[in-house]
Amino acid sequence: MTTPAAVIVDAAAYAQAVEDAVKASAAYYEGGASPLDDDTYDRLVRGIAAYEAEHPEQVLPDSPTGKVAGGAVQGDVPHTVAMLSLDNVFSPEEFTAWTASLARRIGHDVEQFSVEPKLDGLAIAARYTRGRLTRLVTRGDGTAGEDVSHAIGTIEGLPDELAEPVTVEVRGEVLMTTAQFEHGNEVRTAHGGQPFANPRGAAAGTLRAKERAYTVPMTFFGYGLLPVPGTETALAEQLLERAHSDLMAQAAAYGVNTTASAAVPGITADTVEQVLARVSEIAALRAELPFGIDGVVIKADLAADQQVAGSGSRAPRWAVAYKLPAVEKITRLLEVEWNVGRTGIIAPRAVLEPVTIDGATITYATLHNPADITRRDLRLGDHVMVHRAGDVIPRIEAPVASLRTGDEQPIVFPEVCPRCGSAIDTSEQRWRCENGRNCHLVAALSYAAGRDQLDIEGLGTTRVVQLVEAGLVADLADLFTLTRDQLLGLERMGETSTDNLLAAIAAAKDQPLSRVLCALGVRGTGRSMSRRIARYFATMDHIRAADTETLQQVEGIGTEKAPAIVAELADLAPLIDKLAAAGVNMTEPGTTPPRATAADSGDEESGASEENEPAGPLAGMTVVVTGAMTGPLEKLSRNQMNELIERASGRASSSVSKKTTLVVAGENAGSKRARAETLGIRLATPDEFAVLIADFLD
């Protein structure tokens, strides 16, 4: 869908729009702290262009249209070849019109396109002399940029020395990955600085910073390779004649980082349809990428086409940016709510002035924990940058400090549990009510009775509230001692519903250990982790006897998670004993306990129960399920599918990566299928997968 232009009604509004756009552009390119988010800026510039098209006699000299960086940036280091911006398109229709215009200009349809992600960073030119990196220059106004050579040696993917002693210029984007951004803000705030609002701003500010007491890593992705004065004639001619895709392969061979190793590598395409398909693929993978993108860059790949098309004052005519819907917007933080989860965790949630991001109206965003609020220096009334991509829970990146008025107020942290009034355990980053699960007993019991845990049909939240308020249930184990007379004494509980509920509770006693463990809601575990723990240890006794070192033998449990699980199980010991006494199953079917350790038995060998099991058809495979299942798998929930995978000796995962072996793609499979295809991962339909694991289907 085309981004609508801002409506500008008269000359005064036009002049104000130009002033706002130039200020925003200057802030964006110089420090990354623009008062406008990308979507608002794009709409404003499109509105300016539309007004100028209707009133050419009123065009102001400061107008951002037709200028690199909106005309807001200047530099003092001349570029040997103009370093231009890109024109934008926002829809398939606009892109198709652009390709038609390009075809008219070069006299034929484009024979080959290159398609790359549009990285959300800062454009720079890296000059190499006889293979050594000698200078870094920002894009500036396109004709000259700022010298940032002090950053040499701090940017990953931009080697100090190339694999060959050539004199060339590599152009590309400096950015911060999500991990680098989080680390950078931690370091910055630890040194008394204001956190950056987003990764692009962090990269722009860090690249320009001199004589800091600390360094923050950044990453470079190359998108251009060209000759400069001093380049050998033969090499210069070669670079000018080669296709863009060939130049990127050459840059990678020199040792420069390109998108070739990313989940969204640059590719070539022969038709408009293929280009648009690739745009859709990249858009589908956007939320899972470890770095920000705001669109897709499409170029005429062949050098001959580029040379005939030429360039304008602002942008090359042979390349365009297909902008994707914005995933970041600026809005205001109105208040902070403090909610208590089923395990007693006290979680802050931001209440926002409603803002629309990628078609969804966002009113709330996660704030993680009190330490995160302090680190980001958030205040009530702040303008904040909110990020949302795909189905990811919206999060606040940081306040836009430049928009503060002085009326912002500090966020007040609770002194007692906001639910029950008990004391708060603040010893860890995530605060917790000292009453733990008993603080939110209804939520804890409702979760335990859920379909993917003990699957107690008829025990919904309303019924749980009744049981708790009647004093019949004080913990999970009490469910298994309920009597018929007790239930019949409750409102709206007849004989049939009572007998059905008692039968469901009795059946829950026979659920496998993995589901019992999941029902306990051990912090740091979920459904998949509970299955892995249960399959490794086979019995609850073996789990409870495990120390932190032994727990780390389970995939996914590291040095931080293991002690927390051990401590949690120790706290749950009385409840686990009550459950066992009530007859609840404490073993995992189809597994055997791990062999004794050397310390216990004198045997030098030790191992997990799964090593003793016959290998299933998915042994050694990591499987991801996406889309709606059909055929024999139609009625299985996602959790049941994951259980099935693990019974067949596989490992269930929720995300597609290079470690994924197989993706089961049902109807309406989206981004995960697209990523699997990009990575060349094997795909299977639900029917094909059902045949593969037929022996494990009930």
Q: Which CATH superfamily is domain 77-323 in?
A: DNA ligase/mRNA capping enzyme (3.30.470.30)
Q: What is the mean pLDDT of residues 636-658?
A: 84
> Catalytic positions, please?
118
Question: What pLDDT is stored for residue 546 in this prediction?
Answer: 92
Higher-pLDDT residue of 613 and 185 is 185
Name which of 394, 316, 422 is nearest 82 in CA terms. Answer: 316
For 62-76, give the DSSP string. Answer: T--TTSGGGG----S
Q: Tell me the per-residue pLDDT of 312-322, one tens digit each, with 9 for 90 and over.
A: 888 999 999 99
Give the pair of three-digit tokens for residue 3: 């981004």
Q: CB–CB of 566/548 below 8 Å?
A: yes
The CATH class of 622-696 is alpha beta
Give the pair of three-digit tokens for residue 512: 């496998």
Q: What is the mean pLDDT of residues 35-49?
A: 79
Q: What is the mean pLDDT of residues 539-566?
A: 89
Question: What pLDDT is stored for residue 75 in this prediction?
Answer: 66
Reported as a pLDDT band with limits 50, 70 and 90, residue 637 is: confident
Question: What pLDDT is stored for residue 297 in this prediction?
Answer: 97
What is the separation of C-alpha 442 from the centre of its chain, rounded to a whole number of angstroms?
Answer: 32
Fold of the domain built from segment(s) 436-508 = DNA polymerase; domain 1 (1.10.150)
Fold of the domain built from segment(s) 328-410 = OB fold (Dihydrolipoamide Acetyltransferase, E2P) (2.40.50)
Q: What value does the mean pLDDT of the chain take?
A: 87
Q: Is the pLDDT of residue 471 over 70?
A: yes
Q: Tell me the per-residue pLDDT of 200-228, one tens digit each, with 9 for 90 and over.
A: 888 888 888 887 778 888 999 999 999 99
What is the separation of C-alpha 681 from the centre of its chain, rounded to a whole number of angstroms?
Answer: 21
Q: CB–CB of 133/161 below 8 Å?
A: yes
Q: Is the pLDDT of residue 239 over 80?
A: yes
H or E segment at 615?
Answer: none
Q: Is the pLDDT of residue 188 over 90?
A: no
Q: CB–CB of 338/414 below 8 Å?
A: yes
Q: Is the pLDDT of residue 358 over 80?
A: no
- pTM to 2 decimals? 0.62
Q: Is the pLDDT of residue 485 over 90?
A: yes
Q: What is the mean pLDDT of residues 665-687?
A: 86
Cβ neighbours of 191 (radius 10 Å): 10
Q: Is the pLDDT of residue 403 over 50?
A: yes
Fold of the domain built from segment(s) 513-612 = DNA polymerase; domain 1 (1.10.150)
Per domain, the residue ranges of the chain are 11-71, 77-323, 328-410, 436-508, 513-612, 622-696
Beta strand pairing status for 662-665 and 622-626? parallel
Question: What pLDDT is stored for residue 236 in this prediction?
Answer: 94
Question: What pLDDT is stored for residue 612 in this prediction?
Answer: 44
Q: Is the pLDDT of residue 71 over 60?
A: no
Q: Is the pLDDT of residue 195 over 90?
A: no
Distance CA 215, CA 198 (A): 18
Tokens 């001692």 belong to residue: 481
Q: Is the pLDDT of residue 355 over 60?
A: yes
Half-sphere exposure of 217 (CA within 13 A, CB side): 10
Higher-pLDDT residue of 404 and 689 is 689
Contacts of 212 (CB under 8 A, 6+ apart): none
Higher-pLDDT residue of 570 and 68 is 570
Beta strand pairing status for 155-156 and 218-226? parallel
Q: Is the pLDDT of residue 597 over 90?
A: no
Reported as a pLDDT band with limits 50, 70 and 90, residue 533 is: very high
18, burial (CB in 10 Å: exposed 0-12, middle 13-18, buried 19+): buried
Q: Tell me the per-residue pLDDT of 375-389, one tens digit each, with 9 for 90 and over.
A: 888 999 999 988 886
Secondary structure of 504-536 as H, E, C letters: HHHHHCCCCHHHHHHHHCCCCCCHHHHHHHHHH
CATH of 11-71, one of 1.10.287, 3.30.70, 1.10.3860, 1.10.10: 1.10.287
Reported as a pLDDT band with limits 50, 70 and 90, residue 607 is: very low
Distance CA 33, CA 401 (A): 8
Beta strand pairing status for 346-357 and 360-366? antiparallel
